[in-house]
Amino acid sequence: MAAMLQSFGVATASVAFSDHSTKLSGFSVHSLPALREGLEEEMDRDPRVCVMGEDVGHYGGSYKVTRGLAQKYGDLRVLDTPIAENSFTGMAVGAAMTGLRPIVEGMNMGFLLLAFNQISDNCGMLHYTSGGQFTIPTVIRGPGGVGRQLGAEHSQRLESYFQSIPGIQMVACSTPYNAKGLMKAAIRSENPVVLFEHVLLYNLKERIPDEEYVLNLEEAEMVRPGEHVTILTYSRMRYHVMQAAKTLVNKGYDPEVIDIRSLKPFDLYTIGNSVKKTHRVVIVEECMRTGGIGASLTAAINENFHDYLDAPIICLSSQDVPTPYAGTLEEWTVVQPPQIVAAVEQLCQ
């Protein structure tokens, strides 16, 4: 994997990763303080880690992920910026080139479209275009996804926009446990990492270990082992899938559920082993159907595991429309559990 990433201009580094057998024996926290905890632990560990973005300082961030950090680390390590995403993202790239490890918070991931040039041409490519002279250990993170009536501009899923940029990695957290572990791993990575957080998952609560742990940025999570069909998902749709899985089990089906977590690169080892076992695949995403993560994942499975498939892959995605403000219409644009149940029933006939 390291050799493959290097061939695409991505730096590699040695990081110790936690095992999936880690017991959640610690205390219960929500996703939001889990992210803050991971960030704070890394800022304590490494004085090069700094945060920048709109209202990340004394206000504590738009969703309070950075609350209290400015008071602890000072205004230079937790830097409030003007409303100028292209400027402070470019500043983060320059800081990374000179040895710092910046974390850019997008107040909303949709706003980072204003910094697309900096993320693509600078963040993603400078390691390659400099002949390896520079690494860009930058984390770009923030809330996104379809919330509760946030309107079209604040309900965007930028995974599909960023996945084609050479040189960056993408991960999506879905639980407090993996939010903290992926945050820490992203900060320690020598590569630029885009960490997608979902606005509706900040209040999830889960027990996380007392001891330190760091997750693998390139590893999927087996959520539920099964035999009849592989369901691949990530972020908020993990919970729609698990809701559907309860119904499917009651109907006699045994679905295997995998949270892919790593959106780029895909963990084709875990995914492939599941496909070889179940021979059927349903992909469930909140991303848009055209050019989305599901489309790329469908192509990857067909290219690598076509001979193991007993039926065509079904990909359930959001509709290719701006997200409506009206709550009922908003729900209709996003995949719901009954659609997942119907897709599995169709595939397993």
Among this protein's residues, is 30 annotated catalytic? no
DSSP 8-state code for residue 281? E
Are 325 and 302 spatial neighbours (Cβ–Cβ below 8 Å)? no
Q: Is the dihedral of CA 2, 4, 6, 11 positive or negative?
A: negative
Catalytic residue among 85, 105, 159, 197: 85
Judge whether 66 and 57 are in contact, CB under 8 Å: yes
Q: For residue 292, is it left (φ>0), alpha (ψ between -120 and 50) or beta?
A: beta
Residue 222 neighbours by CB distance under 10 Å: 15
Pick the catalytic residue: 54, 105, 127, 154?
154
Asked whether 89 and 112 are in contact (CB, 8 A), the reply is: yes
- Give the whole-angstrom CA distance, residue 210 versus residue 306: 43
Concerning whether 154 is annotated as a catalytic residue, the answer is yes
Classify 283 as helix, strand or coil.
strand
**Adjacent-strand bridge partners of 195:** 141, 171
Q: Give the C-alpha separation, 294 to 282, whole Å.
A: 10
Phi and psi dihedrals of 311, rounded to 5?
-155, 155
3-state SS, residue 24: coil
Q: Report the catalytic residues.
A: 85, 154
